[in-house]
Each structure stands twice: as C-alpha cells, then as structure tokens.
Homo-oligomer: A and B are copies of this chain.
Amino acid sequence: MPPSAVSQPEQFTIGRLAKAAEVNIDTVRFYERQGLLQIAPRSAGGYRLYGAADAQRMQFIRRAKTLGFSLEDIAELLQLTEDGHDRSRVKAIAQKRVADLEERIRELEKMRSVLAHHAGHCSGHGAVKGCPIIQALLSEQG
C-alpha cells in the first residue's frame, strides 16, 4: 500500500473542535465528563486531540439537541450507534420524544388560547381594577 494513504488522521485541538461545532470550548470538556464524547488522547503537552469522528459526534449531539433530546437520551443514542444494537430502542426513544413534544405542545396551546382570550377582552386602558385578565386570575369561574 502507498505510504501516505490513511496515515495522517487530521488531528486538531479542543478549540478547533468547539469552533467547528459552534459550541463553547467548556461544553466540549463538559460533554467528555458526561460521557458523550470519548476521552480524547493527549498531545505531548497534555492537549486533547480530536479527529473527524469526534467532529461528527459533536454534530450528532448538536442535531439531537435541536430536536429537543436530553443529554441523557443523546448519550444512549450514541451508545446504540456503537455496539451492534437493534433499531427498536432507537425508535422507542424517538417515539417517546415525539409523544412528550405533543403533550407539551398541547399544554402550551391551552395556555395560549386561554390567555389570548383574556387579553382579547382587555381594552388596555383604564384602571387595573376590573381588567379581564386580572379578573380571570382572581377568580376563575371554571
């Protein structure tokens, strides 16, 4: 095989990894402590060294976070991608998350409709005494 084929694995320090993933440098160290990132090998001077796989892992975490997964769930998802696990657990985690999202959305929509209703009945001027919003909070009729 050619001498320079897969030999230089493109290493970089924590600062570059953090910048690439658009997170705080301390967040990377935090993820390591939390077990989301593998413990990085060190340079002679004690600096953490990362490679492309770590950058991809950070992207995985970032995307999972935008879907609202907790770090705990993300840790499990990452774990599942490593060993030869079955897809069922991944799907279960995702479905649980969808269900949680739906419940939370329903809660927020209830809040929104009730509050918008009260706000819609408030003229926005005059004394607070008698304001429909305050009245609703003082004594809900339901």
Copies in the complex: 2
Q: Does A25 lie at the interface of the complex (its beta carbon under 8 Å from any beta carbon of B)?
A: no
Taking CB atoms, residues of chain B closer than 8 Å to A125 are 86-88
Contact of B67 with A122 in the complex, beta carbons under 8 Å:
no
Chain B: CB-nearest residue to A93 = B133
Contact of B136 with A90 in the complex, beta carbons under 8 Å:
no
Taking CB atoms, residues of chain B closer than 8 Å to A3 are none
Q: State in angstroms the CA–CA spacing of A140 and B97 once bound together.
A: 19
Chain A residues engaging chain B, CB cutoff 8 angstroms:
56, 59-60, 63-64, 66-68, 77, 80-81, 84-88, 90-91, 94-95, 97-98, 101-102, 104-105, 108-109, 111-112, 114-116, 118-119, 122-129, 131, 133-134, 136-140
